[in-house]
Structure 1
Amino acid sequence: MSDPFLNTHPSLSGPATAGFAVTPSDGAELAQPSRALYVGGAGDLAVTLLSGDSVSLGAVPAGSLLPLRVSRVHATGTTATAIVALI
């Protein structure tokens, strides 16, 4: 299949082109910052945004797609599961 967007510069408003499973950690940053987070299992989410600010999001519903630029998903304070970083 040909990709009509092959020569288009990616933007934050465009669709994600890759992703990886996230294992929450209090000490390790993500392999690369996210464009968005998908939360497969409901729960709380504690993250460090790309700005360096740490925030907690309570009661995130299962199946949520959150447009967050995140450098870390913390283990402490995160009860959500099946988290995927989209880039």
Structure 2
Amino acid sequence: MTRPAPAHANDARVVVYTRLGCHLCDLALELVATICADTGDSWTQIFIEADDDLTQRFTDQVPVTYVDGAQHDFWRVDEDRLRAALAG
């Protein structure tokens, strides 16, 4: 069962959980920023190292992407899937 995104996600429509030095995170952030700029949706990045619970939950799954409080993807962001989720 997928837990909802933590409240400190600032009510952004898309939340990307990352960690420093993660090349997949960098790619995901670039794609999320581009898509959200196109759609006008809000997004935010949260570093998992800043929170012990997040570090334990996501460890090696980063980047982990949430849309509207529900886990959407991990490791990679699929552009078509994210655009469809934001349109729906």
- Structure holding more helix per residue: 2
TM-score (normalised: structure 1): 0.25
Q: Which has the larger radius of gyration?
A: 1
- Structure holding more strand per residue: 1
